[in-house]
Structures are given as C-alpha cells and as structure tokens.
Structure 1
C-alpha cells in the first residue's frame, strides 16, 4: 500500500502497465494463494473497534461523492483517505480483528481510488491501486471484495480491447468470490457475460445472462449485501445486459434494455446516466435513426459536465464518429461544438 501511495498519485500515463500473462497470473494467484494472518503493528497508538467504525462510516459518503462528482474531482480525496488508513496500519497497534477491518477498509478505499483514476483515464495508477487493494482484501480474507476488484480490472481490459484478459479476470472473480449474496453473484456474472460478448461467444454470454437474471430475481432486503454492491440495482442490471446485446450485434434488444435502465436510474447519477445515454444513442445509430442518436448525445453533454469522466468523453466522441451524417450537416456541427466544450 505504501508503494502504491508513493507512485500512483503522480502517475499521468494513460496506458495500462499490466497486460496479457501478467494479469492472468494475478487472477491465478488470487484463486490459489492461502490467506495469511494479520500481523499487528509493533509501535504506535492503540486503535480499537469504535475508532475503526468511525473510519468505516465515511465510506458511504465517499462512494456517493465519487459517483456524483466523477473520478477527476474525487481522486485526491480518496488518495488522502487511503493514505491515512495506510498510516494507521503501519504505525498503530491493534488486535487481529481490528487489523482485519483496517485491511478491508484500505482495500475498499484502494478500489475507489483505482476507479476514480480509471475514470480519469489514468490507467497505470488505477492498476496500482487495484492490485494493492486486491492484496489487502486477500490478507483480510474478504474474497468477495477481492472479486469486485478483479471485476474492475476486467473492465479496464475490456475498455482496452483486451477481451481475452477481461474474460480471464471476470471468470476468476466469479470462481474465487466464495459464498456471496444473489445481488453480488448477478453483478459478477454480468461482468463475465460482458467479456464473453466482447469475445463474440454468443452461447456463453446468453448462458451467463440467464444465470445473472436468475440471481437478480432472488435479490431482496433479507440478504446482507456488501455496501459496495449497492450501485448494482435493476437499472444497472438492465444497462449491463444491454451492453452485452450491443456487443453481440443485437441493437434492438440493447435499445430496449437501455431504455428501461434510463427510466429506472435516479436523476442524481449523472455519470451513469451519461454513460448509458451515450450507449443508447449508439443503438439508434445502428438502427438507422441518426437524428435521435444526435439528440441523445446532446442530452449526455450536460451530464458529463456535471460529473466529469474521461471515459464518457471518449465514449461520446466514438459515438459521434459512428454517425452516418456529413460533418457539414447542421445537427452534426452543433453536436461537434458541444463535444468540443468537453474536450476543452
């Protein structure tokens, strides 16, 4: 964690450091290695359970802020929170139980810091946070949290068109998660389905979509879902399902699920609304309705402004490039002007 804190924040490279066999090996280690004991710090003050509880109580606020403000705005705050917890792990004394909870807390903060870096287009930094968070989750014995971090690494590979790596990481997340709630299972299965769709495996993707739908149908308030899975609601389920169908060349099915997702998604989730509005626009382009695609892309611009995201800017530019209209078309010119404000 200390090495990550030293190297991740100043990193400004927009490419991934790990790839191919290195990522697959990381996933294999996650499945195979044993869970070591938590070693208590030898010096420093004593940290008790109430103090850890106070630190943990800040996580919901941090998750909401990162989702609402976007990665570029939240990154420094998350790094600072992680630095504080890492310092406590290094210097304080505490029981094994307290140490385990501190490790889980640091793993989740590393996941969030990695996500904010990923959202900012800083991919080497994201990998540093995530691989450190994976080790912390492993040391704490929280396999579900580790699986969620592997899921993020899988999505990063997906964004870089490393689809076989994305599939290997997503499969490792599913296989290594242990006993999880139906919501968590559906979330992990859908990430694997997305990777299978990107690889062009129709049958495997459909199998995983069916399994995810079965798990999602069993989700209810009686299950003790981990707090980090709270974002995965019916809106997100439909949005992820839509992306699978879009990648498999099924724009009508994708369009139907994107429409459902956007109807269910809370208005405050600017970044997610922008993501799936852009993806919805791409289905309209694929079905020959360029005018409505332009309208949706214009709608997404203020959402990106409200929650800046380099990933969404890249998506919007890619969706614009797919439009069949000439650059001199008035609607396209207006859209280009709006997109230029994002790039600036």
Structure 2
C-alpha cells in the first residue's frame, strides 16, 4: 500500500511541476502548522515507500487538490507500448514477392474481402481516434502484405493487392499521425506510396504523398511539406478525378499557409473549389475519397483564414459548417471547434472563445488523438493574452 501511495504522490507532484520541497511547504500551509514538521526528506521517504504518511494524508491530498482516494488507489498497470511498422513487416523489402510461393491461390474474392476491410477501417477512423485504431490498422497492413508476398496470384490480382496495400498505407499512416507517431506514420506512408507506384495508380500515389505532405507541414517541416504537396498535385495531373484534384489543391493551400505564403494559399483554395465544381463532368472518384465535398473544402478555407489571422472571414465559415456537422465525429468536431475558438480570440471575443474552448476540452477528454490534444494547447495559449478577463482566467486556472 505504501509503495502505491508513494507512487501516486510522486505522480501528482510531478504533474504540477513541484519539487519535493515545494510539496512539503504546501502541506504545512494547508495543515496550518508552524515551522517545517514536514520537509523534503520526509516527502522522499513517502514517495519511495519507506514511510507511510498516515495522519498527514488528508493534508497531502488538500495540498495537491485531489481526493484522498486518488493517493491510496492501486496504480493502473502501464499500457503496452504502441506497435511499430517493423513489428509487423519482414525486415527485407516488404513488397517483394517470395521467389517460391507456397501459399494458396489468391483470386478476386480475397481481393474483395481486403477491399471491404480497408473501407471498414476508413469508416472507423470517422468516429475513433488514432490511439484506438493503430493496432488494428497495422495488423491489417501486415495481413495484406503477407497475402501479396506469400500467395499465388495473377498479374491483375497482384496489382489490385498492391492498390489496396497503398490504400491501407494511407489510412494507417493517417491513424499513426493522429496518435502522434509521426516518424512511424512517415514510414507507413512511404510503404503505401511504393505499393501505389508499383500498381501504377497515380491518383492513389498522389493521395499518399499529399497525406505525408500534410503531416510535414504540421510538424515544423514546412518547406518539405510544400514541396511534397506540389509534387503530389503534379503526379495526379490534370486528368485526375475532380474530388482528388480538389483535395490535393486543398493540401497545397494548407502547405502554403503553414509556410506563411498568403496569396498562393488563397489562390490554391480558389482552384480547389473550381476543381470540385467539375465533379459531375470528370471520371468517377475512388471510393476512398467519399468524404471530400464542399463542406470539407469550406473547413479548409476557414482553417487557412484562421491561420492567417483573418477571423472575420473564418468565423462565419466555421459557424456554418459546425451548424450541420455530424456530432458522432467527435475528433473532427473538436478540431473544427478549436479553430473557431482561435478565430474568436483573434476577433477580440474572449468570452465567446472561452465557451467554445470549454466544449473543445470536453470533447477531447476521451479522444485518443494527439491532434486534438495539440489543438487544446494552442487554444489555451491563444487565450492566455486575455487572462485578465474573468471567464478566461477561470478556464485557465481550471486546466492549469
């Protein structure tokens, strides 16, 4: 019991960034005692389990502002580490078929099953976050690669398998990125890109390159992100399906935005809208682009204007989108609301921004997404300049 209690005290102290001496002073303060009957060495003994606080326990809990139960409860077992791509794929070239295939003959039925599983994973990503999905995503990717390498199949079926591996690489990379595993996501995207290129599917290759470009733009590699976003657009070409071209132009717009290039970003937004307007005239879009529509382009437009500190344009767009957004898509709803909170802050409306920020925090609490966590941090940082506003101060103090 004393070891559990000590670990809990150490955890709570660490979360506040307090030293052992600081905790000792706070305990004496809330206990209303003179002098220092509790000192740093006593805190150390408690945290290492050498002594049990006993009569000091209520004061420790009060100092840390937690219930006594939080200090006495058994520690939850640590979560197993997230898997990596190397845990699932062969060490050599994962897309090189085995010289002698002893596996079963793979036909269109198996390809159809794989296609359904890929689409199911994509639909799951609409309502679940990266931390929840990364394990099943990588298992599916391993199974698909194993099917391609070890099964016997015709050239046509082989290309279909490679195409679905590419699609799996895109959604699994997106999931890993959402879980905050950016290095892992890049490896997955590059595996998918290799599969798409071997399948000679330029639209899919562009989707993978654009997805990786989007990540690079968001993690401080703005130059790389912009170059890759433009390369993805070039790979897709003018004959790409309208939805695909609109999406790739949207990513170019975001890459220009993150690079601080205002006019190219706004120009790319306009070109994305024009491309989507051709949807009924061009070739049929791949099934994996089912989510690309005018609403998604409107969201990107609003995000660009928010990032460029143009709240008068961003706020109406975001309010319009959010008024009809599917509430079951919790992660996206939290993300879009976070941009609204930032835009309201930039519009000098801190009270409204707080109301929206509270909803962002509430929605993000149970979402295993590093993207939403990062957006919460950005919203709070943007509100900090309004700390003198009572509503803002109350919110910042509550999450301190």
TM-score by length of 2: 0.72
Match of 2:62 in 1: none
The residue that corresponds to 2:92 in the other structure is: none
* Aligned mates of 1:199, 1:288 — CA distance in 2: 25
Name 2:203's counterpart in structure 1: 144
Q: 2-side partners of 1:308 and 1:37: how far apart? A: 34
Structure 1 counterpart of 2:306 = 246
Query: Which has the higher relative contact order, 1 or 2, with Cα contacts under 8 A spaced 6 or more apart?
Result: 1
Distance in 1, matches of 2:103 and 2:183, equals: 33
Write the distance in 1 (CA, Å) between the matches of 2:146 and 2:388: 54
Q: Which runs of 5+ in 1 are unaligned?
A: 10-35
SS of the residue aligned with 2:309?
A: coil
Match of 1:298 in 2: 358
Q: Which residue of 1 aligns with 2:181?
A: 122
Q: 1:54 is paired with a residue of what secondary structure?
A: helix
TM superposition score normalised by structure 1 = 0.83
Larger CA Rg, structure 1 vs 2: 2
Match for residue 105 of structure 2 among 43, 46, 60: 46
Query: For residue 77 of structure 1, what is the aligned residue in structure 2?
Result: 136
Give, in angstroms, the shift of residue 180 of structure 1. Answer: 1.5
Deviation at 1:326, TM superposition (A): 2.2
Alignment partners' CA distance in 2, 1:221 and 1:76: 40
What displacement does 1:108 show?
1.1
Q: For residues 101-159 of structure 1, what are the alpha-carbon distances to aligned partners after superposition, in whole Å with 9 as ceiling and x for unaligned? A: 11111111121111111101111111110111110111011111111111111111111
Count of aligned positions: 310
Q: State yes or no: 1:98 paired with 2:98.
A: no
2:290 is aligned to 230
Report the Cα offset of residue 57 of structure 1: 1.4
Q: CA RMSD in A?
A: 2.5
Query: What is the CA deviation profile of residues 37-68 of structure 1, one whole-angstrom value per residue up to 9, with x for unaligned ones?
Result: 99997331100011211111122221111221
Identify which of 177, 181, 204 aligns with 2:236: 177
Task: In structure 2, list runs of 5 or more residues that go unmatched.
Answer: 1-83, 90-94
2:240 is the counterpart of 1:160: no
CA spacing shift, 1:246–1:52, aligned 2, 3 Å? same
What is aligned with 1:209?
269
Q: Where in structure 2 are the equivalents of 1:181-196 lying within 5 Å?
A: 181-196=241-256
Q: Is 2:394 the partner of 1:314? A: no
The change in CA–CA distance for 1:75 and 1:200 in structure 2 (over 3 A counts) is same
